[in-house]
Structure 1
Amino acid sequence: MSSRTLRGVALACLGALSATLAAAQAVDALSYRHDLDAATRARVAQVLAPATDFSRAESFEAMPAGAGTTDRLVNADIFSQPSANLDFEGRQRFAVGNGLFRKDWVAAPSSTRASDGLGPFFNARSCQACHVKDGRAHVPESFAGLEREEAVGLLLRLSVPALTDAERRRVEAREINTLPEPLYGGQLQNFAVPGLAAEGSIAIAYEEFPVELAGGETAMLRKPAYRIENLGYGPMREDVMVSPRLAPPMLGLGLLEAIHEDDIRANADRRDDPDGVLGRINRVPVLQADGSVTQGVGRFGWKAGQPTITHQSADAFANDMGLSTRLHPEPWGDCTPAQEQCRGMPHGVQADLGPYEVPDEALALVDSYASNLAVPRRRDVNDARVLDGKRLFYQARCTACHVPKYVTRRDAERPEHAFQLIWPYTDMLLHDMGEGLSDGRPEGEAGPRDWRTPPLWGIGLTHTVNPRASFLHDGRARTLLEAVLWHGGEAQAARDRVVAMTPQERADLIRFLESL
């Protein structure tokens, strides 16, 4: 045997040994996945290994939601399809939940007894009014003259610092970190039922500025400044903190809920990132069935402030529409004690329908719907430019936060979500995104500059579903490139690599994002 052949055999053996060691390390890293046996952990570790070959798509990459991926015709309704692996009963519950998600609620008292209880203050009459066709909302050019039916999914959260000694002690005990604005509560309500004035209206002014890109290109970013006008109940506290929130897309939520909690913790445990990426979990209170409260992992909302889809839905019913549920039993929604007239308005609780305006079964049906909105099949996964864009996405280290793939819990609560290979492109963690994106307002353990990494699946179909949709938490970014260029803080290094790309490389990167 020649020396060249011997050297080749030795290198092959070393390569095999390295691969074996890497696989063993990966399996060991998944030792916390007690829902999987050792053999399955080995397979999962192999499947979840980061991509290294960008000459072709990975196995099952075109199916971002596993067996739940929908391959329906791509049109404006593509985000409103049920998970493909739902059984007949599941599709029935999805359809009924869809009706509840779309229905317009009305003020009490009303002849439509199962649909009254709206308000007294509210931002929208239905869930669908903000989540346009279950996709991303948009910011209008002007809020002047908007009617109730034209709710657009942008709202303002309100809070103030703790001032009294008792309030400060609660802050130090981490029970709270801010308080609702004493008169206007935790959210500005721009609509009200007959007999009440709305709390106020939103006005936005944009300041545009250029960002120079490599290759002679220039991008224009716009920075919003918010004003609250037409206050209906007197002045707010001068130290009020205002945070805008745009309604995000709804697809794939049940699969995000089925990501193993310890996979999220493993993402947070990484401490050797060369760019200084340090994601954190937002630990949030979780109300249990027996009325007790435990600490859980925040998964939903722009700052990961809600632990489950049910909590997220109940919070939206209470704050956006003024509707009570078992998690928010007050029928007056966000009316503060100072708003006595608001709290005294008729409500929609019906004795024969239970103690809440949204009964438990209705909340569960909305939960079934929101949990099973399908993720569309990927397009052009083997296109040369898409593959090159994927390579650039990895090289720019966007994957430090936008973690590509997971295998969901084998013991997931809903069988259609169990043991699925999914590609959401998120680590589900909070990250410091820099001063440019700071809203000046903490939420739980999330600071003013902290935002949860949003999933990217379906992002390429955003404008197919809602042509006026925009990006980031307040809709300031009109394009995907603008959204990237607003990244700062822990994402600054990745953003700067995108700026330094050639125009063709940036176009390929966007082409990859548009394929998701």
Structure 2
Amino acid sequence: MSIRKPLLFCLLGLTSLCAMPLAAALGESGGAASKGAVRADLTPEDRARVLAVTAPTGDFTKPEAFEIMQGGAATSMAWPDRDAFSHVSANQDFEGEDRFKLGNALFRKFWVSSPSSTEASDGLGPLYNARSCQSCHLKDGRGRVPEAGEEAVSLFLRLSVPPRTAEERAALADKRQTRIPEPTYGGQLQNFAVPGVRPEGRMVIDYRDEPVTFSDGTTVTLRAPTYSVADLQYGPMAKDVLLSPRLANPMIGLGLVEAIPEEDIRALADPEDADGDGISGRVSEVRDPETGAITLGRFGWKASTPSIKVQSAEAFAGDIGISTPLKTDAFGECSNVQAECRAAPSGIQERLGPVEAPDPVLDLVAFYSRNLAVPARRRVDDTAVLAGKKAFYEAGCAACHQPKFVTSRTAEDPAQRFQLIWPHSDFLLHDMGEGLADHRPVGDASGREWRTQPLWGIGLTETVGGGTYLHDGRARSLEEAILWHGGEAGAARAAYMGMDAETRSTLIEFLESL
């Protein structure tokens, strides 16, 4: 296994870690395991080594071995500038880099309405939120909350209604559906449309200030959002409609997350809080549309998606209105009662097949998404960062933001196999309290539950161009994001609020180093 070590490795002040072989950290074997999980890809000897290498540290006087390499051998060592989230996995081979570049071109591609003289680029909408994947995932990072008077592009408003019939309840129970779409406007409000079709409406965000005062007298003002809809073009929404915003997530490390063995994530679940620590993470189980099997959901704000390919297909359909072999409706989010939308031309071309984005478009976009590298840590041996790491652990943050895993030996892509990674997430559902509740169930997630957000790369959010945090971008700083934590994370929030100003500052410095 080779690791690229450019000059930047030393420019970042990490020369003491440059020469350490990854295999040494794993004793030549590895994989993630927790609480006695049994993995099919490991021998008993491997599992013992794994438990040792993924155990939480108690030594905060120095960095852990390979802590800099957040994404294992796939970690990008490029300079952490605005393109920090846009680099290929560092251990991809030349053929993989070529596929990555093709996927990148498709990820950035702007789709146009039909009919068009630009062959194989039409089929947009008819209703849509964005014209390209990159429009939502800015510089492959997170989305942006719209300014006053600006149309939302990378912040969506999801829609659903409670089940009303036995058939709808059965569809939710056997996981054929994760939610029931609003009868007229579907599963997502579409604020753009192709010529000749009316957009559905627009999202309205109102903020109110909520001051929070620390024990030392310091006051931070949170902004609490309220969401509504305006300018509806297809009649009123159902009175019992459930609204919930979604900010586009950063794209880095997705392939490594997909390569974490399912057993390791399940082993972290404690739905009845049997150990009495106040943390009761639950797994999200979903039906995989590719196989029809029930499997672990690990992607998305509610962990409602099983794979990168499925997530990509759903984004093509729901956000851009482009059909793929996994989501074949060429009219995207057009509901059956939106006649003018259903009557618009599609982008299907007979010679290319029955969908607007035929093979290998979806596979290339999924490959690209799977191989966006996690950037290297910065300042891992800085005194303040180490103190902040200690505060992070002592506050209980690591109980949900699980620092380490090792990926499967049998991962589909060799670049993701057998890597010690540091996502700082358990990928489980947690009750985050009333403050963050959207009261909109999705699959196994209740209206108060969210998947633990991975923290790798979070310190480069502003550098890349995001700048806000949480599922709807309400938090304008990492501190605000912490202060919105409640429910199972309430004790960690209280611990943070009980820290003196210097300790709080070091904890933020630790997060900024990720």
Distance 1:120 1:230 in 2: 18
Are the equivalent residues in 2 in contact too, given 1:81–1:374 (CA < 8 A)? yes
Q: Which residue of 1 aligns with 2:5?
A: none
Matches within 5 A, 1:281-292: 281-288=283-290
Q: Could you tell me how far 1:164 is from its partner in structure 2?
A: 3.3
Q: Which residue of 2 aligns with 1:14?
A: none
Distance 1:187 1:103 in 2: 22
Does residue 512 (structure 1) correspond to residue 510 (structure 2)? The answer is yes
Q: Which residue of 2 aligns with 1:444?
A: 443
1:475 is matched by which residue type in structure 2? Answer: G
* CA deviation string 1:375-430 (max 9, x = no partner): 11100001011000000100001011000000100110110000000000000100
Q: Which residue of 1 aligns with 2:267?
A: 266
Gaps of 5+ in 1: 1-25
Aligned pairs, number: 482
Matches within 5 A, 1:258-337: 258-269=259-270, 271-288=273-290, 293-337=292-336
Distance 1:31 1:300, change over 3 A: closer
**Secondary structure of the structure 2 residue equivalent to 1:220:** strand
Distance 1:266 1:128 in 2: 35
TM (norm. structure 1) is 0.91
1:348 is matched by which residue type in structure 2? Answer: G
Are the equivalent residues in 2 in contact too, given 1:139–1:469 (CA < 8 A)? no
Q: Which residue of 2 aligns with 1:239?
A: 240
Q: Could you tell me how far 1:141 is from its partner in structure 2?
A: 2.2
Distance 2:34 2:456 in 1: 29
Q: Which residue of 2 aligns with 1:495?
A: 493
**Secondary structure of the structure 1 residue equivalent to 2:136:** coil
Q: Could you tell me how far 1:272 is from its partner in structure 2?
A: 3.7
Distance 1:346 1:471, change over 3 A: same
What is the percentage of aligned positions where both structures have the same residue?
56
Q: Which residue of 2 aligns with 1:361?
A: 360
Distance 1:407 1:177 in 2: 30
Distance 1:160 1:509 in 2: 40
1:343 is matched by which residue type in structure 2? Answer: R
Structure having the larger proportion of residues in helix: 1
Does residue 483 (structure 1) correspond to residue 485 (structure 2)? The answer is no
Are the equivalent residues in 2 in contact too, given 1:100–1:366 (CA < 8 A)? yes
**Secondary structure of the structure 1 residue equivalent to 2:470:** coil
CA RMSD, 1 decimal = 1.6
Q: Could you tell me how far 1:172 is from its partner in structure 2?
A: 5.4
Distance 1:240 1:69, change over 3 A: same
TM (norm. structure 2) is 0.91
Distance 1:195 1:295, change over 3 A: same
Q: Could you tell me how far 1:174 is from its partner in structure 2?
A: 5.5
Does residue 419 (structure 1) correspond to residue 384 (structure 2)? The answer is no
2:335 is matched by which residue type in structure 1? Answer: T
Does residue 391 (structure 1) correspond to residue 390 (structure 2)? The answer is yes
1:278 is matched by which residue type in structure 2? Answer: S
The one of 66, 71, 87 equivalent to 2:93 is: 87
**Secondary structure of the structure 2 residue equivalent to 1:228:** strand
Distance 1:253 1:28 in 2: 21
Distance 2:460 2:178 in 1: 37
Distance 1:169 1:90, change over 3 A: closer
Distance 1:210 1:27, change over 3 A: closer
Identify which range, 262-271 or 354-363, moves more after superposition: 262-271
Are the equivalent residues in 2 in contact too, given 1:161–1:177 (CA < 8 A)? no
**Secondary structure of the structure 2 residue equivalent to 1:129:** helix
2:64 is matched by which residue type in structure 1? Answer: E
Are the equivalent residues in 1 in contact too, given 2:348–2:355 (CA < 8 A)? yes
Does residue 99 (structure 1) correspond to residue 99 (structure 2)? The answer is no
Q: Which residue of 1 aligns with 2:49?
A: 43
* CA deviation string 1:436-479 (max 9, x = no partner): 1111110011100010001000000000000x521000000000
Q: Could you tell me how far 1:163 is from its partner in structure 2?
A: 2.1
The one of 62, 66, 73 equivalent to 1:67 is: 73
